[in-house]
DNA sequence: ATTCTTTTTTTCGAGGCTCGAAAAAAAGAG
DNA sequence: CTCTTTTTTTCGAGCCTCGAAAAAAAGAAT
């Protein structure tokens, strides 16, 4: 039983629809919007007039690429970049990077620092993050725009309400309430998300042809992460952020994993596992703390050069990933997969054994037709995913609010 | 971007909401409905007046359990059983059982036959099913009610559009277009669903306290099946019915499974696997075709009586199920689990090793708090799930249609 | 230069829907 | 027989969307 549909929901939802259509199309005319949304011209006219009056949208004045066609020229209409701004924060191993982004999605300012996340105290981690946020909030490029939302991405497990970092490989501390801490600093809503989920958001935004309703983003890095889009919405578990693909058990009582358990996919396919298999051959050796991309690249080069333990290690990684994906496909059916991160640059070494393993599983019945994509640099994807998520929040909650209190808040902030 | 919200959708959705509220509550008053739906009294009054005029609902006349309270007595309002009927068909190993059910969910007639599904030809399977449907369509208990929907449940994999049985252990044939065949016979929409999905529907209907938005139904039988409810809707894959929990790989290159692959959960936890482990100790022995419930019961009795290969076999089953569930929990977070079917009567033998295995996995961090439920007879659940699904379809598509053509069809059928 | 065409955008009135308030209905309590 | 209390219905206000018609703003044609 779905919730009751009130009368005013109609306007709210259609406003959100119009904003989303414009965000996707860039600079559409009213006629374009009517076509993509399916709403009538009159409705589009009314809604866009309201949104322009509120400063959310702006008409592109002059400078039209001319029409060359007869008839009244179309008036391009776009997101008003002055309407608001949002902030993204990406915390990763020994690196903190924050960005200020205007309401139309353009980068206004960046702030990047390196510091040792592994040795930092809880308070230190929160303080560094808060300081980065504070610096950007005071940035003069803001020019009076209200900053309405912060989305932070971290590697690790967050709680389902996106308030705290429950566990992460970048620090030994757990249950760090980043959202509360940053809300206190900024006075606006903050959520903290899993980095791979943000990668999935970004893939969907960049290439909705390929990544629409169901697809999988897998981060190949020191550990293995996953972002899962199911039926058009980001899948995260009910309690935590879920999607712990890297810690599905590939081999009961198998190789020692960084998480302390045995036989996880990550214990075969994470950088440390590949390194360990290639260099020591001992699956029970304690995982190395960090392995540079350069080291991994030379390992891959060696594996390509000759048939030896290096090549074997990448094959094992492919096998573990293949069985893991096969098990996932047994549950959710095959879907497009994108391998992201520096590890994806060695995908040629991984792919044969990965495909062979998938073919052994229930999900691998059409394993030939499964396509894989790679994207070796994850950072831009993570940031873009955060931006997309934050802007969508603002679109829906502030500019098409179900609850008048939220819009009142915006009124106060721009006053 | 969601679909445009048209104005008439509002009425349609609120009509569906009212029907659902009444179906759930049984015989509520208008005031009750207003409370549970959140709609205003005026709206409920208008919608229920319409629905009564259309014959969808009926006021309980007289026979009120009296009020004992002051004030105008409440008028109980209920689903009109005369408004329509639906048909459920459950095809399982060597058994076909169909039921005629009125619009308020009461059983009108049943039709049950035994025949050998394993040896039957494709045409034979479809003909038997069609004959059962035809018999019930001509049943005099129908008394002029239009039969508006058929939902059929089968063990196995169906396509995602619920039109055909792609693969099933009860027959050697594949790609059997049951939905098309029955639609030709009955002239009304037919869908074919996985039996475990219907079990999940039924559990949710029976006990929404425990089984609401996220839960898992696992059928322990000759094979292993799963019905998965995620975020309040039945999860099935994008291409096929998905949810092939029994064929997740527990042990790469492990025991021989009925499906021809190796190491599937089912190859350790299906009846044939438990039997094989207990009696031959050879994991590669070809699976027995069928093992009676009585034989499995005596195997369980023996396992309870003494520590021997029988007990070991049940332990192995628990271990495979535990790792499988743990891997599932790694992806979707722990959720309530119900073990269904005759195999659940040996759950006491399975539970210890199952819990021990879960504790080894990423999803098992709070393995103590995970609760399991058992239900040894699956047939009533499957039938009830089909009925719930069919009635919901009728509620939404016929009596609260988005498309006037559907309602016109009903008009013709009752004329 | 002025008058057609064509296309986009806005305006206007009709028709629906939900809601709150008020009225009506239908009992028991005094 | 009149007062309370509770449920249900009625009625008017306020929105919202839509289609049709009007207005606007160009290029094309004369």
Residue A193 has pLDDT above 90, yes or no: yes
Average pLDDT, chain B: 91
Q: Is B244 on the interface with A (CB under 8 A)?
A: yes
Nearest to B194 by CA among B150, B239, B160, B233: B160
pLDDT > 70? residue B249: yes
Q: What pLDDT digit, counting tens, does each position of A307-325 carry?
A: 999 999 999 999 999 999 9
Q: Between chains, do A5 and B10 touch, taking CB under 8 Å as contact?
A: yes
Instruction: Tell me which nucleotides of strand D come within 7 A of a protein CB.
Output: 4-12, 14-21, 23-28
The pLDDT-based confidence of B1 (bands split at 50, 70, 90) is very low
Distance CA B293, CA B93 (A): 13
Instruction: Verify if strand C has an atom below 7 Å from the CB of A70.
Output: yes
**pLDDT at B69 exceeding the cut of 90:** no
Q: What is the pLDDT of residue A2?
A: 47
Contact criterion met (CB < 8 Å) for A237 and B333:
yes
| Candidate from A17, A235, A361 with C-beta closest to B4 | A17
In whole angstroms, C20 C1' to B59 CA is 26
CA-based nearest distance A195→chain B, Å: 16
- A42 interfaces chain B, CB cutoff of 8 Å: no
Report the nucleotide nearest the CA of residue B64, measured to C1'.
C27
The residue behind tokens 């058992």 is B374
Residue B65 has pLDDT above 90, yes or no: no
pLDDT tens per residue, range A381-398: 999 999 999 999 999 988
The 10s digit of each residue's pLDDT in B367-382 is 677 889 999 999 999 9
How many Å apart are B68 CA and D2 C1'? Answer: 21
Q: Do domains A7-79 and A222-377 have the same CATH topology?
A: no
What class is the A82-198+380-414 domain? alpha beta
Taking each helix axis from N to C end, the angle separating B271-279 and B309-332, rounded to the nearest 10 degrees, works out to: 140
pLDDT score of B400: 82
CA atoms of A379 and A411, how far apart (whole Å):
34
- Please give, rounded to a whole number of angstroms, the shortest distance from the CA of A273 to a CA of chain B: 18
Q: Average pLDDT of A124-138?
A: 97
Q: Indicate the pLDDT class of residue A66, thresholds 50, 70 and 90.
A: low
pLDDT score of B242: 61
User: Using CB atoms, which residue from A240, A243, A335 is nearest to B238?
Assistant: A335
Mean pLDDT over residues B15-43, rounded?
Answer: 95
Residue B411 has pLDDT above 90, yes or no: no
A252 near B CB under 8 A: yes
Q: Is the pLDDT of residue B62 over 70?
A: no
Separation between Cα atoms, residue B400 and residue B15, nearest integer Å: 6
Taken in order B6, B10, B15, B21, the sign of the CA dihedral is positive
SS3 state at B75: coil
What percent of chain B clears pLDDT 90, i.e. is strictly above it? 76
The CATH code for residues A222-377 is: 3.30.420.40
Of A67-76, A285-294, B214-223, the poorest mean pLDDT is in A67-76
State the pLDDT at residue A362. 77
Is the CB of B316 inside 8 Å of chain A's CB atoms? no
What percentage of chain B has pLDDT greater than the value 70?
92
User: Could you say which nucleotides of strand C lie within 7 A of any protein CB atom?
Assistant: 5-13, 15-22, 24-29
pLDDT at residue B290, as a whole number: 84
Q: Tell me the CA–C1' distance in angstroms for B29 and D4.
A: 21
Tokens 């709680």 locate to A159
Could you read off the pLDDT of A207-225 as tens digits, one per residue? Answer: 999 999 899 999 999 999 9
The full set of domain ranges for chain B reads 7-79, 82-198+380-414, 222-377
3-state SS, residue B28: coil
Q: Are A58 and A121 in contact (CB under 8 A)?
A: no
Neighboring chain B residues of A360 at a CB cutoff of 8 Å: 249, 252-253, 261-262
Mean pLDDT over A37-64 rounds to 90
In degrees and rounded to multiples of 5, residue A377 shows phi and psi of -110, 110
pLDDT range class, residue A241, cuts 50, 70, 90: low
What pLDDT does B70 receive? 86
Per-residue pLDDT band at B2 (split at 50, 70, 90) = very low
Q: In degrees, to the nearest 5, what angle opens at C-alpha A144 toward C-alphas A138 and A146?
A: 85
How many angstroms separate the CA of residue A227 from the nearest CA in chain B? Answer: 10
Q: Which of residues 199-228 of B touch A (CB under 8 A)?
A: 213-214, 228
- Lowest mean pLDDT: which of A293-297, B5-9, B308-312? B5-9
Q: Which CATH class is domain A7-79?
A: mainly alpha
């Amino acid at each position: 039983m779905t919730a009751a549909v009130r009368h005013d929901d109609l306007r709210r939802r259609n406003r959100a629809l119009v904003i989303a259509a414009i965000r996707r199309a860039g600079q559409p005319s009213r006629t374009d919007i009517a076509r993509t949304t399916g709403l009538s011209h009159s409705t589009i006219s009314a809604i866009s007039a309201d949104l322009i009056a509120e400063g959310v949208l702006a008409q592109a004045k002059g400078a039209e690429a001319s029409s060359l066609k007869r008839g009244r020229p179309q008036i391009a209409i776009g997101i008003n970049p002055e309407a608001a701004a949002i902030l993204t924060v990406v915390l990763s191993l020994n690196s903190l990077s924050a960005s200020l982004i205007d309401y139309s999605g353009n980068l206004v300012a960046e702030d990047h620092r390196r510091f040792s996340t592994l040795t930092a105290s809880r308070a230190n981690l929160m303080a560094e993050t808060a300081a980065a946020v504070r610096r950007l909030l005071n940035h003069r490029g803001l020019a009076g725009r209200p900053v309405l939302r912060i989305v932070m991405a971290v590697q690790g497990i967050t709680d389902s309400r996106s308030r705290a970092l429950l566990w992460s490989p970048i620090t030994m501390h757990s249950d760090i309430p980043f959202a509360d801490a940053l809300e206190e600093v900024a006075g606006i809503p903050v959520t903290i998300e899993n980095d791979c989920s943000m990668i999935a958001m970004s893939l969907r935004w960049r290439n909705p042809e390929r990544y629409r309703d169901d697809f999988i983003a897998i981060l190949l890095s020191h550990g293995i992460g996953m972002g899962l889009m199911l039926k058009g919405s980001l899948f995260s578990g009910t309690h935590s952020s879920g999607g712990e693909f890297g810690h599905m058990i590939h081999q009961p009582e198998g190789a020692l994993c960084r998480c302390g358990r045995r036989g996880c996919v990550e214990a075969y396919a994470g950088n440390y596992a590949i390194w360990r298999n290639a260099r020591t051959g001992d699956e029970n050796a304690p995982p190395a703390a960090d392995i540079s991309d350069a080291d991994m690249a030379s390992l891959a080069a060696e594996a390509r050069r000759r048939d030896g333990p290096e090549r074997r290690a990448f094959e094992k990684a492919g096998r573990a990933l293949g069985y893991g994906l096969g098990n996932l496909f047994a549950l959710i059916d095959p879907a497009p997969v994108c391998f992201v991160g520096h590890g994806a640059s060695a995908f040629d070494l991984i792919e044969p054994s990965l495909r062979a393993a998938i073919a052994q599983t229930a999900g691998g019945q059409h394993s030939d037709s499964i396509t894989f994509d790679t994207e070796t640099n994850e950072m831009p994807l993570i940031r873009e995913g955060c931006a997309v998520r934050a802007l969508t929040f603002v679109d829906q909650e502030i500019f098409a609010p179900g609850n008048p209190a939220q819009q009142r808040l915006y009124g106060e902030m721009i006053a």
